[in-house]
A and B are shown apart, each in its own frame.
Chain A
Amino acid sequence: MAADTGETPADGFGRVSRTKDVAFRLLALAATLIGIVSLAALLLNVAVDAVGWLDWQFLTNPPHPDPYEAGFLPALVGSIAIMLMIALVTFPLGVGAAVYLEEYADDGYLTRFIQLNIANLAGVPSVVYGLLGLGLFVGLFNIGYGTVLAAAFTIALLILPIVIISAQEAIRAVPDSQRQASYGMGATKWQTIRNVVLPRAMPGIMTGTILALGRAIGETAPLIMIAAPTTVFGLPNSFFSKVSAMPLQIYNWASYPQTEFQYGVVAAGVVTLLVVLLTINSIAIVIRNRYQQRT
């Protein structure tokens, strides 16, 4: 690229440069598409492999060493139970933190520190959160290894920074004029937040939280670290039930020797996980679109 800057305008940018321009454009387009196309090819492969395996019996049976009898139900229900718990924990905490940072905090040293810290937490590897969960929830609070609560709290801490950051963006998008109008009518700060800011920001906050839950449902490493069981039969019947989750069951099945597992049962599990993920993300997109139409 340095060579081009060396050329003087008098030489003009002739045919060579034009050709280069087209070639570069195509190269950049190819680069943009290569990841998407590769993923699409892999998804097609797994979808084809899942045909014949992903059926009602698979979705309603417990796991089994025989691939033809193996089912996904405890993992499916476990994932949903964990996800609901995570939503209950992260939503109030995430919104609370975002409201503080956007509406209350001054631009001082502490705020900047918190902000930097949140950005950094979003980048901490999930396996490290797993160790945190092991030390804190399994060890210190003695919630029990691999329980619904331990799993939910651990992953909740993991996605909390993402929820906070997206809630902050949603709150920031509320026009300042609306706040001023509220203050002008004599409302207090809390009244303004409750009656003006949060209702306006809510669709954005919901979208962000739901997308974060999508991330949560795919997490595996933290569950391994809090010693979630390899396989669970039956459904969770309390917060202290041992829990399995879809990605964990997929990981464990991937080590079964039979090709029926590798190219059948696991493929069916992967497709189920992706369908659930897609559903979650679609809900988020629907909320976002509805909100965009209203304003």
Chain B
Amino acid sequence: MSQPDFSHDGIRTARGTAFRYLFMLCALLSILTTVAIILTLLLDAVDFFAQVSLVDFLTGTRWSPTNEPIAFGVLPLISGTLVITIGSAMVALPIGLLTAIYLSEYASDRQRAYLKPALEVLAGVPTVVYGYFALVYVTPAIDAILPVDLSTFNALSASIMVGIMIIPMVSSISEDAMSAVPDSLRQASYGLGATKFTVSTSVVVPAALSGIFSSFILALSRAIGETMIVAIAAGQTPRMIDLTDPAGMFLDSIQPMTSAMVQIGTGDIVGQGPAYKSLFAVGLTLFVITFVMNLISELVASRYREVYR
């Protein structure tokens, strides 16, 4: 820093203040981004809801934006998203939790040093690559191995890929929470003669529960917003699902919200009609769902951080 600055307090302060506000502007940009997202979605969604009633949108069970008879019921898309969420949860939640337990309770420092970056790679692979894998490797493999009638585009392989992708989200946040559990709790159990299994499942997991819960929600929110895997591998059939019929849910083609957005975004839709605006209505629905989930996750997480601080 040059000498004259030290002797001119006025300039110094002015410059300091200028930078302060410049940096503040950068930070406020994040709020502007949120505002811009909400406004972009809302403005077009409002246009959409001027033509299609909100009730029809939220309760309709047919989604057919361009095919006569036109219908804009979002439920089939939400049910498609639900299938992917359930499927990926069945993959990622148990695997992620067990991984977190292994890393936090069993693994040596050396093992951790290799395993953690390797797990992070799972989240770093571009989703278009996962989608391609699901379509050209996973689906044919499942079709060959399992005696089921699997459609080319199906929820099963897409869910598995989404599940694998979100494992590190579950494992790293859960592991953080488990590591935050004070060692005194573990020592007390060992003192009573407990095995590592008992300590892990009966002491550490319950104590880290809110962190684990937070990781689950965050991971599922990611699954809900995942676009390319489902757009490539899950199909374009908007349909209502029957929760009591797992085969029907997973073996056939579905259409989650994100995939419908890609279809509208790339489709042959002319002008500013409701078909085009529905892109923003679905986008808004997706945004609200993931936003609320992220918020819950954040609030739960901040709670567990406080407990052992």
A residues lining the B interface (CB < 8 Å): 1-2, 4-5, 9, 12-13, 17-18, 20-21, 24-25, 27-29, 31-32, 34-36, 38-39, 42, 45-46, 92-97, 99-101, 103-105, 113-114, 116-121, 123-132, 134-136, 157, 160-161, 164, 186-191, 193-195, 214-215, 217-221, 224-225, 227, 247-248, 250-251, 254, 262-263, 266, 270, 273-274, 277, 281
Q: Which residues of B contact A27 (CB under 8 A)?
A: 98
Q: Does B5 contact A (CB under 8 A)?
A: yes
A-B contact count (CB 8 A): 276
Q: A99-B26, A247-B129 are in contact. List 10 more A-B contacts (CB 8 A).
A: A25-B106, A28-B99, A46-B137, A93-B29, A100-B27, A123-B221, A131-B40, A188-B13, A189-B16, A254-B131
Pull 25 A–B residue pairs with CB atoms less than 8 Å apart, ordered by A: A13-B193, A20-B197, A21-B195, A31-B98, A31-B99, A32-B171, A36-B121, A39-B122, A46-B129, A96-B26, A100-B20, A113-B31, A121-B30, A121-B33, A125-B258, A126-B225, A126-B227, A127-B258, A131-B279, A132-B40, A247-B128, A250-B128, A251-B231, A251-B232, A277-B126
* Chain A residue at minimum C-beta to C-beta distance from B117: A285
Choose among A28, A35, A42, A113 the residue that contacts B106 (Cβ–Cβ < 8 A): A28
**For the complex, is B287 an interface residue (Cβ under 8 Å from A)?**
yes
Would you call A277 and B102 a contact (CB within 8 A)? no
Query: Which of these, B19, B119, B221, contacts A36 with CB under 8 Å?
Result: B119
Docked Cα-Cα span, A186 to B1, in Å, equals 11
Count the B residues whose beta carbon is within 8 Å of the partner chain — how many?
96
Of the candidates A1, A9, A97, A136, which one forms a contact with B193 in the assembled complex, judged by CB atoms under 8 Å apart? A9
Per-residue CB proximity of B132-170 to A under 8 Å, as 1/0?
110111100000000000000000000000001001100
Q: Is B70 an interface residue (CB 8 A)?
A: no
Q: Which residues does chain B contribute within 8 Å of A13, judged by CB atoms?
A: 193-195, 198
Q: Which B26-64 residues sit within 8 Å CB-CB of chain A?
A: 26-31, 33-34, 36-37, 40-41, 43-44
**Separation of A124 and B38 alpha carbons in the complex (Å):** 11
- Interface flag for B25 (CB, 8 Å): yes
Q: Does B74 contact A (CB under 8 A)?
A: no
Partner pick for A9 among B192, B202, B287, CB 8 A cutoff: B192
Main secondary structure of the interface of A (DSSP, over half): helix
Identify which of B25, B102, B222, B262 contacts A29 (C-beta below 8 A). Answer: B102
Q: In the complex the two chains form, is A120's CB within 8 Å of B34's CB?
A: yes
- Tell whether, in the assembled complex, residue B94 and residue A160 are in contact, meaning their CB atoms are under 8 Å apart: no
Interface centre among B98, B126, B205 (most CB of A within 10 A): B126
Which of B179-232 touch A at CB < 8 Å? 192-198, 200-202, 205, 218, 221-222, 224-228, 231-232
A156 to B224, CA, bound (A): 22
Are A227 and B265 touching (Cβ within 8 A)?
Answer: yes
B2 to chain A, nearest CB (A): 10
Interface residue ranges, B against A (CB under 8 Å): 1, 5-6, 12-13, 15-16, 19-20, 22-31, 33-34, 36-37, 40-41, 43-44, 94-95, 98-99, 101-103, 106-107, 115, 118-119, 121-122, 124-129, 131-133, 135-138, 164, 167-168, 171, 192-198, 200-202, 205, 218, 221-222, 224-228, 231-232, 258, 261-262, 265-266, 279-280, 283, 286-287, 290-291, 293-295, 297-298
Q: Looking across the interface, which residue of chain A has its beta carbon closest to that of B35?
A: A117
B12, B94, B122, B287: the one contacting A188 at CB < 8 Å is B12
Checking B27, B122, B280, B297 against A101 with a beta-carbon cut-off of 8 angstroms, the contacting residue is: B27
By beta carbon, the residue of chain B nearest A227 is B265
Residues of A within 8 A of B23 (CB): 96-97, 99-100, 103-104
Complex Cα distance, B23 from A103, in Å, reads 10
Which residues of B lie under 8 Å from residue A38 when comparing CB positions? 164
If A35-B119, A36-B118, A191-B5 touch, whether A24 touches B286 (CB-CB below 8 Å) is: no
Task: Give Cα distance in the complex from A232 to B215, angstroms.
Answer: 40
Q: Which of A32, A114, A136, A219 contacts B28 (CB under 8 A)? A: A114
Contact B99 A127 (CB under 8 A): no
In the assembled complex, the CB of A12 is this many whole angstroms from the nearest CB of chain B, namely 6
- Bound CA span A250–B231, Å: 13
Q: Give complex CA distance A121, B29 in Å.
A: 11
Chain B residue numbers with a CB within 8 Å of A121 are: 30, 33-34
Give every chain B residue within 8 A of A281 (Cβ-Cβ).
124
Chain B residues with CB under 8 A of A221: 227-228, 231, 258, 262
**Interface contact A4-B128, CB-CB below 8 Å:** no
In the A-B complex, the 5 residue pairs with the smallest Cβ-Cβ separation, listed nearest first, are A125-B225, A218-B126, A96-B26, A135-B40, A31-B98
Complex interface: chain A residues within 8 A of B280 (CB): 131
Residues of A with C-beta under 8 A to B231: 221, 251
Chain A's nearest CB lies how many Å from the CB of B85?
A: 13
Contact A120 B37 (CB under 8 A): no
A135 to B279, CA, bound (A): 12
Min CB gap B200→A, angstroms: 7
